[in-house]
Structure 1
Amino acid sequence: MPAHRARLAFEPMPPDLDIDYVVDTTENFQFADRVTCDSLDRFSLEQFEKLAHFQVVLTGRPLVVEGFQQRWDKYLFSEKWLREKYSSKIEDVRDLSKKNNRPFTIGHYLKSLPLLSKKITPDNYMDKTCQRLYMKDIDCPSEWQENLEKLIPPALFYLNDSPKPFSGPASSDTNVSSYPKSSQGEPLALAGDLMSSLPPSMRAENLMCYIGHEGTFTPAHQEMCASLGHNIMVDASDGTPENGQDTDPGSSIWFMTQTKDRRVVSEYWMSVLGHDIDIEDYFAPMHAWAIAPFKTWVVKQKPGDLILVPPLAAHQVWNRGTRTIKVAWNRTTVDTLELALGEALPHARMVCRDEQYKNKAIVFFTLERYAKMLRQATKVEHPVVDELWAVFKRLFSMFTDILLSETFSRKTPEKEVEYHAFQSNVTCSYCRCNIFNRFLTCPGCAHSLGGDEDPYDVCMDCYVMGRSCGCISNLKWVEQFHWKDLIDRYETWRRLIISSDPANKSLKSDYPTFVVARGKAATKTIAEICQEQMARRPWNDPKKPKAVKKAEILDTASGSEDDSRSRKRKKVRKPKKIDSEDVHRCHVCFHFEVNWKLAPCSNCDQRYCYGSLFRAFEIPPQAVMEKYHWLCPKCLKVCSCGACKRDSTMRPYEPNCTVLGHDTSKVADPRSVETLVDFRKSNLWWLKKFGDDVHGRIRKHQDEAESAELERQKTLEEHGFLFESSPPEHQTQTSNGNGNGQLNGSGAKDDDAEHQRLDEDIPVDPSLMLNNAFLNLED
């Protein structure tokens, strides 16, 4: 097995931690900004929405809105109500220590929380065998959803599709009737959550509840698809006896980062902590956050606190006390869609993480929806309509990029393309991302699964990376929309934009016809690359299978840490001559490989294997294949192989980031193979070759983040934003004395019988024992 960078171990947080003292004494810790519901009543809903957008999206910092517990029905949002109403409902509970799920009824779990929380004490909290049972990702009760929708500003709530009357903060100076209306009487305004643009059957249901106890946690992660996160604590134990049992005050501690630091965070996670934050399986200890090269925003969440999580901002949560109950959801906006398509989805594809939000489909259906609105608002002058036009143009630019990526070669268009009507349910068999329109399918690898045919469908992005089924080639094209219909929509929406301002002649050049837009493309489209690669790559007939190994690339010079072992001088042997025009040697790793696995330079006769390019030069396969004339690292004078380094004019390329490698065989379809790059291998050998300057790489990412931030500040100021903190009356800095300070962990009683019970695991839910499937849960 190849060696890996050392990984920092999981370290629980102590029950008696004084988080206020920790924040006060740690230089890069800072409590997140807070606003109260009462203070927002002095402003209009539009002003609050601008404040939230500025703080959370534009500056990328978390924001806490507190005080909702003063406005809701305290009985409805309570453990007692939940137990009375849903006690018999069965949900999966995650055993964080054993990393498995077990079914519980909600009533039995709630009843067990006092015992579960007392089992973790200041003396034993470091014990890895401590039982940590977390009821997470369960459906939110409909009664809670209906009441929260009346209290939380509509633009921030789950699946919001238009402005609605509500009685929450900032509602006193808000008049929904002031919005312009369509001929049907519907408001002409932006939706708060673009997921609402999808037909109901296609939407991702992400309004979830989380019930935890002392020591349960959520590992560090970013919100899926760069969406905006929302988390409100609706109930927690207050330290008073409940149902005859003592309790400890419940709260949650959040560690959060800023959007602009996402690349610094990612590099720190991999190069220092030894974990990949995209995999979401590691809870970083507090001292790792304390010495991190970025600011950490801390939130001590209590009942009534609504936390707004910025897009792509890493965060983790630790639950404290006897009980915490939270409701969480995500929203998709035009800002998150741009981040998702540009950053989040490529990262998710590398680690094979489900794309539940169907981002490309959201772009398409939102354009259809907004186009109908704008046709009725062409002569309406209103700030809301101006915002609609601005968002419509941004969505149209994304749709243009989607269409361009799926365009076939003009010289060799595909004539046989199977049509499969779009139902939003086609996902890549390898990376599991949702496929909007065109993809490749293998007719030879389809097999029956539970009575239904299970085809092998692969997205174009994965196929370019060398991912496919064992057949490798001879795949068939499928599309879910008739291409002519998509082009017609493009032209319709383009003309709609131009008609918005007939006097502006630049609109015609800014939004050209699709033929002109395709002609302006400087690189090959990803569909065109797939066409070329299917012509190059061989077909492995499943009826006459050949030995196709997963990741059969032999790029030792760009591989794992096995290559960093001490190298003794060996007798140089003259390589065997291979009499084949289809086989050449990689310029870096010196291994012979078939030509379709090598990238040929357009200027010289050198060839590079894709594994060497990916790890040594951070060049993915698509970056090579999309160019009409690709120049190799040697011609660019950046080659870092041993021979080229002796050239005084060469400036060897030093990798900018750490790649730990990820074994996708655990999550990808078992019929899958990797034929170009073995993504399990790291680039640590190359980093060590250049001295493994961790601080230098992090500093470089910091400089890039600061430069990008300055550019964004400049743009915001040009558009009338003042880049400063929210007004003092909007801020209530978290401090001691709010009931969430130091816990002494003294809830356990002294009698021997109590200690005996604390050492035992929470038993299987008795109400489930009648089902034989649950009898062996402890095993």
Structure 2
Amino acid sequence: MLLNARAVFKPFPPDIIVDETVKTISNFEFARRITCDGIDLMAREDFASFIHHWVVKLGRPLVIEGFKDRLDKELFSSEWLQKHYGKKGKWPLSMIPWVDLAPSDRYLPVENVRDLSKGANLRFTIGHYLNKMPALAGRINTSTFDKSQIQRLYLKDIDCPAEWQSSLEQTIAPELYYLNESPKPYLGPGSTFSKLPECPPTPDGFPIARAGDLMSSLPADMRAENLMCYIGHEGTYTPAHQEMCASLGHNLMVEASAESFENGHATTQGSSVWFMTETKDRHAVSEYWASTLGHDIDLEDHFSQLRAWERAPFKTYFVEQKPGDLVLVPPLAAHQVWNRGTRTIKVAWNRTTVDTLELALGEALPKARLVCRDEQYKNKAIVYFTLQKYSNLLRYAPVTSHPEVESLWSDFRRLFKLYTDILLSEIFSKTPPPQDQIEFVKFDGNVTCSYCRCNIFNRFLTCPWCKTSEEDAYDVCMDCYVMGRSCGCISKLAWVEQFPWKDLTEQHDTWRHQLSSCDALASDDGSKLPRVRFPMLNVARGQLGRKPIAEICQEQLLLRPWIDCKTGRSQEDEEEEVRAETPSDSDDHDYGRTRKRRKVQRPKRKIRQTHGLCHHCRDSGPAWKLATCSQCYTQYCYGNLFRAFNILPQEALEKPHWVCPKCRKICNCSVCRRDPTMVPHEPVRSFVGHDTRKVADPRSTDSLINMNLNNARWVSMFGSDIEQRLMKGQHEDNLKRSEALHEAQIILESLQQSTPTGDDVQAHTGPQKIPKTNPDDIPVDPALEEANSSFMSLWQDPMAT
């Protein structure tokens, strides 16, 4: 195990030969390439179907080459950028280091240039950085490339020029472009013809079709601006990471240096080397990064050396990106980028779709919450506003009038399922807090958790004791509070909501009826089928089988003690101190005699009720910090459940009758391992440990789990064979998936056998089959697979020969 040892950064030599490197390593493979000319031979909808099939469904990277000949060479050049954006805005000259400027240039614009070696930002003008790139790249050669003090200055995350954005909008297919709201005419590859009729319009003239980027559904002031430019030189890089919120990544190299002379300096050919993985390997990549390299892939802080990729137990796709190459990055696929040559200029953007929203809410955001990575995309708000937009569009659309309309109905169903899950997580218990004790704040999309920095859609908790001003309020999301994250007050937090709950539930009912009406028209079973598929919210709550996270917060607010942030003492401590200082009745009648005050102790029964002993680590603690088994009443502290059993607090607290590892015969403590009937649980997920205090609000505290500790002890206890652990992890994922499908089958059968008693739960004639799928294998439409077998033969694939 190498959890305590972290792999170091090792740069690539400038003379590395890409083709030979890939051919000599067995688990390396070139990513598939297609050409713009090949796209011109296909209908527009066929191209969109192929991209969705290859990048989203199969989760494999793809490169579209040939844009170099279709871009305006004068517009997309370093000279144009230097002329029009070299001196934009004004900043004091004193803020610009490492610059020799004339006195007339006393005020110049600056951008944040990342010094990768020192992990700090410098202030440069775009023009000055472009002028110094030959000198920066020239310092890195075969004899100096591995020197730690060498400067690697990367100009990244700068706004894309408006002129470039307008030109790219006419070059890139709308289905792939940034903030695409509906099909638009364009002049790029694949725009020649379509086999489908024009999308039917609404009375306002807007086409009834899906948006290519669901970020466009948000109001303009809530959108995350992610159309960015990246300018780098030899030796600059982007560490291994996954695209934020499981979105789809797009990266187009618009210009690069060539073998020539610029401003008296020799320049070398610019390109970027990509190491990429598949979506289905995301768990293997995460485990390999943690257990072998000692880094957390979600932190984006490690650029892995070539040797590590060579030994990885998964396939690595290799791309050498040159001018005109558009790289498409699958959701949740880890990748890192190495820049070569004197200069590379790239434009990058991300898109949000229904597929990425499902991955974000189900997987990406919970992981981001653990390491406190901020959420910029407001995924839950995108679900809400997209449903509003699609609902209005579909009022004018017949059910089966157009293939695009059918796809729109399909996306509407999937978004409604996500919205139902969002509301189910925010439902209170049968005894909700009084309405006058719930503060209302109008939704503006800007409320984030003070701890994890994720965006909050509706309900959250705020601390009235830590609040010093309106801007300094301590707000915590319900997910963090369940994990034991909060301010130092821990309890007595107040509820806040940003939408009236009645409005959200009425919207849910409206969309449910809209879907039911659509399916009733399209089905042969009348109105029974849609009512089973789209139950009312309170019916769905009864089918949930677990406590909503809002209900868990209600319970924990009553169990957890309040700590006075001024004195640092809990209410329980103060009550005991008062109890100890209060004289007894016998003392009141003891006149004329001075006696030593008797020490009053808390009754042992009271201690047993408020404190407990962890079965695993044998440490005592307050009962609210321990999970209690519903069968044997054995207690486990949440820290050991997380590190030794990969169980988060929510997984134990959401179950009405939680069964401990001891009763499940999987306990791996030192005592239970001697029991021959036990099958000790082997942790298959390595947790490196992350000091969240560096990013969370300074008032924050962890009361249940110390996230700074790793689980190396428990993982190493059962060996260090990573391949065996990965296989076991996949097996456990399959078991969980099978259990969920089995529970869903039981619920469905009970609904089918029940007598119709209400308007919204009716029996459905004929059993429904629930497919058994592997969670790592995204299902692919067989018809699409067959269609693309002939479709793929049209692409130019240089590696095929």
Normalising to structure 2: TM-score of the pair?
0.85
1:541 CA drift (Å): 2.0
Q: Partner residue of 2:413? A: 393
Distance 1:719 1:544, change over 3 A: farther
Match of 2:478 in 1: 460
8 Å Cα contact 1:209-1:327 kept in structure 2: yes
Cα deviation digits, residues 583-640 of structure 1 (max 9, x gap): 1111111111111111111111311111111111111100110011111111111111
Name the structure 2 match of 1:561: none
Aligned pair partner of 1:316 in 336, 339, 361:
336
Q: 1:243 Cα shift?
A: 2.4
What is the distance in 1 between the residues matched to 2:479 and 2:636?
A: 21
Q: Which amino acid aligns with 2:649?
A: P
Report the equivalent of 1:727: 792
Q: Is 1:516 equivalent to 2:539 in the alignment?
A: yes
Equivalent position of 2:382 in the other structure: 362
Question: CA separation of 1:318/1:723 partners in 2, compared to 1, >3 Å: closer, same or farther?
Answer: farther
**Structure 2 counterpart of 1:488:** 506
Change over 3 Å in CA distance of 1:702–1:650 after alignment to 2: closer
Partner of 2:201: 181
> Per-residue CA shift, 1:697-743, capped at 9, x if unaligned?
1233466899998688794245653497662321423699xxxxxxx
* Aligned AA (1:47): D
Who is 2:4 aligned against? 5
Q: What's the secondary structure of 1:329's corresponding residue?
A: strand
Q: Choose 375-384 or 388-397, whichever is displaced more.
A: 375-384
Give yes or no for contact 1:338–1:398 (8 Å, CA) kept in 2. Answer: yes
Q: Tell me the secondary structure at the aligned position of residue 128 of structure 2.
A: helix
Gaps of 5+ in 2: 89-109, 521-525, 572-602, 736-771
Equivalent residue letter for 1:526: I
Residue 347 (structure 1) aligns with: 367
Alignment pair present for 1:443 and 2:464: yes
Cα deviation 1:300-348 (Å, max 9, x = unaligned): 0001000000000000000000000000000000000000000000000
Q: C-alpha separation between the residues in 2 aligned to 1:423 and 1:412?
A: 25
Change (3 A) 1:709 1:410: closer
What is the rounded CA distance, in whole Å, between the counterparts of 2:167 and 2:291 in structure 1?
45
Tell me the CA shift for residue 431 of structure 1: 0.1
Distance in 1 separating the partners of 2:702 and 2:48: 46
Is it true that 1:83 corresponds to 2:104 in the alignment?
no
CA distance in 1, matches of 2:647, 2:355: 27
1:534 aligns with 2:534: no
SS in 2 for 1:181: coil
- Alignment pair present for 1:625 and 2:653: yes
Q: Which runs of 5+ in 1 are unaligned?
A: 549-575, 737-779
Aligned residues of 2:280 and 2:777 also touching (Cα < 8 A)? no
- Between the aligned partners of 1:185 and 1:305, the Cα distance in structure 2 is 36
Which amino acid counterpart does residue 567 of structure 2 have in structure 1? K
One-letter amino acid matched to 1:544: T
**Residue 413 of structure 1, CA deviation:** 4.6
Match of 1:67 in 2: 66
**Structure 1 CA distance for aligned equivalents of residues 318 and 487 of structure 2:** 45
Instruction: Report the Cα offset of residue 226 of structure 1.
Output: 0.1
> How far apart are the structure 2 equivalents of 1:404 and 1:714?
26
Change (3 A) 1:166 1:184: same
In the alignment, is the contact (CA less than 8 A) between 2:231 and 2:344 conserved in 1? yes
Give the 3-state SS of the residue equivalent to 1:317 in structure 2: strand
Task: State which of 401, 405, 408 in structure 2 corresponds to 1:381.
Answer: 401
Query: Is residue 649 of structure 2 the alignment partner of residue 584 of structure 1?
Result: no
Contact 1:66 1:305 in 2 (8 A): yes
User: Which of 293, 296, 313 matches 1:276?
Assistant: 296
Residues 145, 412 of structure 1: CA spacing in aligned structure 2 closer, same or farther, 3 A cutoff? closer
Residue 546 of structure 1: CA displacement?
2.6
CA apart distance, 1:515: 1.6
CA contact (8 A) 2:280 2:776 kept: no
Following TM superposition, by how much is the alpha carbon of 1:693 offset from its aligned partner in structure 2, in angstroms?
Answer: 3.2
Q: Any runs of at least 4 consecutive aligned residues in structure 1 with deviations exceeding 4 A, and if so which?
A: 576-579, 701-715, 717-720, 723-726
CA deviation string 1:731-778 (max 9, x = no partner): 423699xxxxxxxxxxxxxxxxxxxxxxxxxxxxxxxxxxxxxxxxxx
Task: Compute the displacement of 1:447 (Å).
Answer: 2.0
Q: Secondary structure at the match of 1:183?
A: coil
Is 1:418–2:445 an aligned residue pair? no
**Separation (CA, whole Å) in 1 of partners of 2:718 and 2:697:** 37
State yes or no: 1:683 paired with 2:711: yes
Contact kept, 8 Å, 2:561 with 2:570, in 1: the verdict is no
Q: Say which is worse superposed, 602-611 or 399-408, in terms of deviation.
A: 602-611
Distance 1:705 1:474, change over 3 A: closer
One of 222, 228, 231 as aligned partner of 1:208: 228
Whether 1:430 and 2:446 are equivalent positions in the alignment is no
Secondary structure of 1:477's partner? strand
Aligned pairs for 1:178-257 (under 5 A) are 178-257=198-277
Please state whether the residue corresponding to 2:239 is helix, strand or coil: strand
Contact 2:11–2:235 (8 Å) recurs in 1: yes
SS of the equivalent of 2:465 reads strand
Q: Give the letter for the 1:489 counterpart.
A: Q
| Counterpart residue identity of residue 356, structure 1 | Q
Return the alpha-carbon distance in structure 2 between the equivalents of residues 414 and 696 of structure 1.
52
The SS at the match of 2:607 is coil
2: distance between equivalents of 1:151 and 1:125? 37
Aligned residues with identical type, % of pairs: 57
Match of 1:572 in 2: none
Alignment CA distance shift 1:300-1:734 (3 Å): farther
The secondary structure found in structure 2 opposite 1:669 is coil
In structure 2, relative to structure 1, the CA distance for the partners of 1:580 and 1:139 (3 Å cut) is same
Higher Cα Rg: structure 1 or 2? 2
Mean CA deviation greater in 117-126 or 727-736: 727-736
- Contact 2:43 2:195 (C-alpha < 8 Å) held by counterparts: no
Are the counterparts in 1 of residues 57 and 778 from structure 2 also a CA contact under 8 Å? Answer: no
Alpha-carbon offset, residue 278 of structure 1? 0.4
Provide the rounded CA distance (Å) in 2 between the counterparts of 1:735 and 1:48. Answer: 21
Q: 1:156-202 CA distances to partner (integer Å, 9 max, x unpaired)?
A: 00000000000101111138971111111100000000000000000
- Code of the residue aligned with 2:458 in structure 1: it is N
Q: Is the 8 A contact 2:3 2:291 kept in 1?
A: no
Q: Structure 1 residue 518: deviation in Å?
A: 1.3
In structure 1, what is the Cα distance between the partners aligned to 2:777 and 2:696?
A: 41
Match of 1:716, SS state, is: coil
Matched AA of 2:650: Q
Measure, in 2, the Cα distance between the counterparts of 1:100 and 1:672. Answer: 25
Conservation of the 8 A alpha-carbon contact between 2:645 and 2:683? yes
Note the C-alpha offset of 1:240. Answer: 1.5
Distance in 2 (CA, whole Å) between partners of 1:58 and 1:45 is 19
* C-alpha deviation, 1:244, in angstroms: 2.4
Contact 1:716 1:723 in 2 (8 A): no
Report the CA distance shift for 1:88/1:734 in structure 2 as closer, same or farther (over 3 A): farther
Deviations 1:418-474 (A, max 9, x none): 1100000000000000000000000110124xxx53100000000000000000000
Verify the 8 A CA contact 1:221 1:277 in the aligned structure 2.
yes
Cα pair 2:200 2:208 within 8 Å, conserved: yes
Using a 3 Å threshold, how does the CA distance of structure 1 residues 720 and 504 change in structure 2: closer, same or farther? farther
Change in Cα spacing, 1:297 to 1:704, as seen in structure 2 (3 Å) is farther
Deviation (angstroms), 1:380: 5.7
Q: Cα distance 1:689–1:714, how it changes in 2: closer, same or farther (>3 A)?
A: closer
1: CA distance, partners of 2:16 / 2:570: 57
Counterpart CA distance in 1 for 2:170 and 2:31 is 26
Partner letter of residue 491 of structure 1? D
Alpha-carbon distance, 1:127 to partner: 0.6
Would the aligned equivalents of 2:50 and 2:788 in 1 still touch at CA under 8 Å? no
**Does structure 1 retain, via aligned residues, the 8 Å contact 2:38–2:796?**
no
Amino acid of the residue matched to residue 65 of structure 1? I
